[in-house]
Chains A and B, each alone.
Chain A
């Protein structure tokens, strides 16, 4: 029982990363009604760019690595928007799906090419710290991951609900035509959404590096699948839904890893998704209908 609770706790802490990835998918979906399949790959790519700092300055502080990962994540987000969305008409949804898949492969291959396919060490943070509360222990690096992820989410929610850009973003996601008629530059909002999600993704990628200890291009596909599952369980387009679902999937996954081992773990995550699809197809926080 204790092992189980411990596993769930660790999983929930790590689930904060899934929540960040889920938010990225869900925000882009909310604004453009499109899936950005390249998102998880761009996030890992951002984290790799963060490691470039260590190439230039061998003893760079960890926060600088994180900052660089954040910034390059945002830049990659904009590049993905420019190459996969900007020039493709909105009326062909299959084309953007395919172009982002192409971008996913491209980013993956650039990573493999520039690192010769070897996993890269990522500086860990607080990995010796171990908090104890009675029978439970909390890994310091996971707590750090959780704290940074929560900070990112708070910053995002403030951006969405307290700034003019957030207002515009929410307007576009509710009614793009009406938003345009009110003088909102929809293309600019779309591009900025990609930058914002890219920033989050770069942060999430660096957090994965910090908690796992290494970065590898093999991370991108599983992370894409997990992020999409989180998005669906939370409800497409819902930011709070993605947060709750991310923590839920993280805890669930780690609990089943304890019971059934790492090879079968993901099978149960898929089953969880199907339970949701059958009994609650709209997700936890389904968006109200009536768009368009």
Chain B
């Protein structure tokens, strides 16, 4: 059973990562810096619980705030460029943050052993959960509490005026600007919310794996972050969840018996999925179809 709890933890954290990219993608921007905000949340909250002895919840809060602040800071200069230039700018920023953590040492002695991040070796002994006697199931529930809260918030945003503005900017920013939408405010605020969500995800990730290092936040993680919402479809937050379950649950865990071949299949299936469903699994037409199905029953 613990195996499934562990899988659910993984799916929860990756859902947060995907959702952080989802809200940025709604405004039509592709950010490959989500892994960087994820890393900042992970390192900051882990340092707060391990080195400063904080409780996990405020530590995650600070991690989210710092992730949001960094995203906001990146948003302004990066938004001078558009479209594909932004992809590359954020990619370079993400790599820059990763290399920063690769060179980052801050260790203090605690109870005879040195703890804290140590450059290429990473940050070991993030033992908040075992020290406080949390079981795997409790950790899973804790992670999913955050994941569900964020999903509800994004669902609500999607149905609010702000969500409509986000999608308007995503569809055609020129048209949105001409009806008086402040593009900078919308894009930077979407980046900031995305940064906060990635920060929360990073904090949870650091504590359930107990060991983080720079390579846990590389370009691949950043591409996974945007892959979930794109493969799942941008019409609904459930698309992201569906894609995370498909990728982490089915491709990574479900196909474990295939051994090496699993990795080969992984890339091929993404290529195939994009060829067959260029707008994602849950695109607008599919959603409308599902809604009609349920509407028909009610009528």
Asked if A109 contacts B89 (CB within 8 A), the reply is: no
Q: Which of A83, A109, A274 is the one whose CB lies under 8 Å from B264? A: A109
B:90-105 near A, CB below 8 Å = 91-93, 95-96, 99-100, 102-103
B residues within 8 A CB of A271? 96
CB closest chain-B residue, reference A25: B88
Q: Is the C-beta of B147 less than 8 angstroms from some C-beta in chain A?
A: no
Q: Is the C-beta of A212 less than 8 angstroms from some C-beta in chain B?
A: no
Contacts A35-B87, A277-B78, A281-B80 given: A92-B100 contact, CB under 8 Å? Answer: no
Nearest CB of A to B99, in Å: 5
Q: Is the C-beta of B160 less than 8 angstroms from some C-beta in chain A?
A: no
Q: Is the C-beta of B266 less than 8 angstroms from some C-beta in chain A?
A: yes
Asked if A102 contacts B84 (CB within 8 A), the reply is: no
Q: Is the C-beta of B219 less than 8 angstroms from some C-beta in chain A?
A: yes
Nearest CB of A to B272, in Å: 8
Asked if A109 contacts B96 (CB within 8 A), the reply is: no
CB closest chain-A residue, reference B279: A92
Asked if A92 contacts B278 (CB within 8 A), the reply is: yes
Mark each residue of chain B from 103 to 136: 1 if its CB lies under 8 Å from any CB of chain A, else 0.
Answer: 1000000000000000010000000000000000
Asked if A95 contacts B267 (CB within 8 A), the reply is: no
Q: Is the C-beta of A19 less than 8 angstroms from some C-beta in chain B?
A: no
Asked if B96 contacts A89 (CB within 8 A), the reply is: no
Asked if B89 contacts A88 (CB within 8 A), the reply is: no
**9-residue interface stretch from A61-69, A137-145, A182-190, A223-231:** A223-231
CA distance in complex: A89, B279 (Å): 10
A residues within 8 A CB of B269? 102
Contacts A98-B270, A102-B271 given: A225-B219 contact, CB under 8 Å? Answer: yes
Contacts A267-B100, A274-B77 given: A225-B264 contact, CB under 8 Å? Answer: no
A residues within 8 A CB of B96? 266-267, 270-271
Q: Is the C-beta of A76 less than 8 angstroms from some C-beta in chain B?
A: no
CA distance in complex: A29, B85 (Å): 11
Q: Is the C-beta of A110 less than 8 angstroms from some C-beta in chain B?
A: yes
Asked if B84 contacts A277 (CB within 8 A), the reply is: no
Nearest CB of B to A248, in Å: 15
Asked if B92 contacts A98 (CB within 8 A), the reply is: no
Asked if B120 contacts A83 (CB within 8 A), the reply is: no
Mark each residue of chain B from 205 to 231: 1 if its CB lies under 8 Å from any CB of chain A, else 0.
Answer: 000000000000011100100110011
Mark each residue of chain A from 134 to 172: 1 if its CB lies under 8 Å from any CB of chain B, else 0.
Answer: 000000000000000000000000000000000000000
Most buried by A among B261, B267, B268: B267
Q: Which of A35, A94, A99 is the one whose CB lies under 8 Å from B275? A: A99
The interface on chain A, measured as residues whose beta carbon lies within 8 A of the other chain's beta carbons, has a size of 48
Contacts A95-B274, A225-B92, A263-B103 given: A277-B220 contact, CB under 8 Å? Answer: no
Q: Is the C-beta of A84 less than 8 angstroms from some C-beta in chain B?
A: yes
Q: Is the C-beta of B263 less than 8 angstroms from some C-beta in chain A?
A: yes
Q: Is the C-beta of B13 less than 8 angstroms from some C-beta in chain A?
A: no
Interface residues on chain B, size class? 35 or more
Mark each residue of chain A from 11 to 39: 1 if its CB lies under 8 Å from any CB of chain B, else 0.
Answer: 00000000000000000010001110000
CB closest chain-B residue, reference A233: B88
CA distance in complex: A34, B77 (Å): 23
Q: Is the C-beta of A97 less than 8 angstroms from some C-beta in chain B?
A: yes
Nearest CB of A to B97, in Å: 9
Q: Is the C-beta of B81 less than 8 angstroms from some C-beta in chain A?
A: yes
A residues within 8 A CB of B102? 263
Contacts A84-B271, A94-B25 given: A228-B91 contact, CB under 8 Å? Answer: yes
Q: Is the C-beta of A191 less than 8 angstroms from some C-beta in chain B?
A: no
Asked if B279 contacts A95 (CB within 8 A), the reply is: yes
Asked if A96 contacts B266 (CB within 8 A), the reply is: no
Asked if A274 contacts B263 (CB within 8 A), the reply is: no
Asked if B95 contacts A109 (CB within 8 A), the reply is: no
Contacts A88-B275, A92-B278 given: A231-B89 contact, CB under 8 Å? Answer: no
Contacts A236-B85, A277-B81 given: A109-B267 contact, CB under 8 Å? Answer: yes
Asked if A88 contacts B278 (CB within 8 A), the reply is: yes
Asked if B264 contacts A102 (CB within 8 A), the reply is: no
Q: Is the C-beta of B2 less than 8 angstroms from some C-beta in chain A?
A: no
Q: Is the C-beta of A106 less than 8 angstroms from some C-beta in chain B?
A: yes
CA distance in complex: A229, B94 (Å): 13
Q: Which of A89, A102, A270 is the one whose CB lies under 8 Å from B268? A: A102
Asked if B89 contacts A29 (CB within 8 A), the reply is: no
Mark each residue of chain A from 65 to 99: 1 if its CB lies under 8 Å from any CB of chain B, else 0.
Answer: 00000000000000000011001110011111111
Asked if A105 contacts B270 (CB within 8 A), the reply is: yes
CA distance in complex: A89, B266 (Å): 22
Q: Is the C-beta of B151 less than 8 angstroms from some C-beta in chain A?
A: no
CA distance in complex: A103, B273 (Å): 12
CA distance in complex: A109, B261 (Å): 9
Q: Is the C-beta of B204 less than 8 angstroms from some C-beta in chain A?
A: no
CA distance in complex: A254, B289 (Å): 57
Contacts A88-B278, A270-B95 given: A277-B80 contact, CB under 8 Å? Answer: yes
A residues within 8 A CB of B268? 102, 106
CA distance in complex: A139, B175 (Å): 56
17 residue pairs bridging A and B, Cβ less than 8 Å apart: A84-B271, A87-B275, A97-B30, A101-B270, A102-B266, A102-B273, A106-B266, A106-B271, A108-B267, A225-B95, A228-B87, A228-B91, A263-B120, A266-B96, A270-B99, A274-B77, A277-B77
Q: A33-B84, A113-B263 are in contact. List 9 more A-B contacts (CB 8 A).
A: A95-B279, A97-B30, A102-B274, A104-B267, A106-B266, A225-B95, A266-B96, A267-B100, A281-B81
